[in-house]
Amino acid sequence: MRKHNFGAGPGVLPEAAIKKTQESLFDFNNSGMGVMEISHRSKDFDAVLQKAKSLVKELLHVPDTHEVLFLQGGASTQFAMVPMNFLKKKAAYIDQGAWSNKAIKEAKLFGEVEVIASSKDKNYSYQPKGYTIPADCDYLHICSNETIHGTQVKNFPASSIPVICDMSSDIFSRPVDVSKFDLIYAGAQKNMGPSGVTLAIIKKDIVGKSERVMPTMLNYKTHLENDSLYNTPPVIAILVCMHVLEWLKSIGGVEAMQKINQQKFDMFYNEVDSNPLFTGTAAAEDRSPMNACFLLKDASMDEAFLAKAKEAGIVGIKGHRSVGGFRASMYNALPVESVKVLVQVMKDFAKANG
């Protein structure tokens, strides 16, 4: 029996995608070889790569001005690749939480960083708003969803400078206007596939303009010119992504997924707000549908609640140490039924301890 997996990442994957991948492990496309054994230069894998790219473009309505890349190194490598490729004199960053902090730290290695807004004053429990974007910066960096503190940008800022966005934890969860971004990057292991591959959607005309000498593998131009095949890509990870995106398309795409995610969000937070034992940590207007952070008002009951959750087959809800309490990550592939189970555990716990 599969668990109710609320883990923050690697996160839950659709069963249909897992089963399709399983079939390919031993004999892929009647090749007599498993998908982990085939050449990344083969026609079989090229079909996988092109299908995965086309699904990204279809599901997110990616304009012709942009290209889809599959990279390695996770979003953490993107924290360095972004300023290495695009920071000439100064870049604007928004300090929204732990991951933004890491991105800012890397960017400072390559030039001046202006932190134009921050929610650090309240332990990143809200998303900064009302800030001014400097016109003299090379780009604005923003994180769409703060995984650890459970907040999400609801409205992206209008900007006269290029916008670069880390969408690792909410990509494909809601429609976005890709044309408004010069670069979107996302680690796959939350909403798109397994760890080991990173998606980048990049505006083609911003690539290759840096005068900085940089390593070949850290230059976006390298990957754009080689169709994500400059070196051996993570073949199986891209295959899983393809199957996940096929599943997403089969249920109606990103637009349908947003409605399902809203249903899960409403169900969960209705319980948090009405249950006398629990409270949310994020500002109500900025709450993330992907990562819901919540506390027991009496922290001495934490272990007892975790035990009850475990009995119900729930895993992955212990909160990050910087926030405490609990975190329910409700990524795309998490069934509505899993949220119902968690809500029922919370109701029962309140009844038994109220």
Looking at the annotation, which residues are catalytic?
A: 99, 166, 190
DSSP per-residue codes, 264-320: HHHHHHHHHHH-TTEEE-S-GGGB-SSEEEEEESSGGGHHHHHHHHHHTTEES-BPP
Looking at residue 35, its amino acid is V
Question: What distance in Å separates the CA atoms of residue 193 and residue 197, rounded to the nearest whole number?
Answer: 8
Show the tokens assigned to 164: 């670069």
Q: Which pair of tokens denotes residue 195?
A: 């760890």
R_g (Cα) of the chain, nearest Å:
21
Give me the residues paired with residue 334 across strands.
none
Residue with tokens 């001495």: 300
Question: Dihedral sign, CA of 194, 333, 290, 173?
Answer: positive
* SS3 state at 253: helix
The enclosing H or E element of 262 equals helix 253-274
How many Cβ atoms from other residues are within 10 Å of residue 295's Cβ?
18
Count of C-beta atoms within a 10 Å radius of residue 50: 12
Tokens of 272: 């948090």
Structure tokens at 255: 């637009």
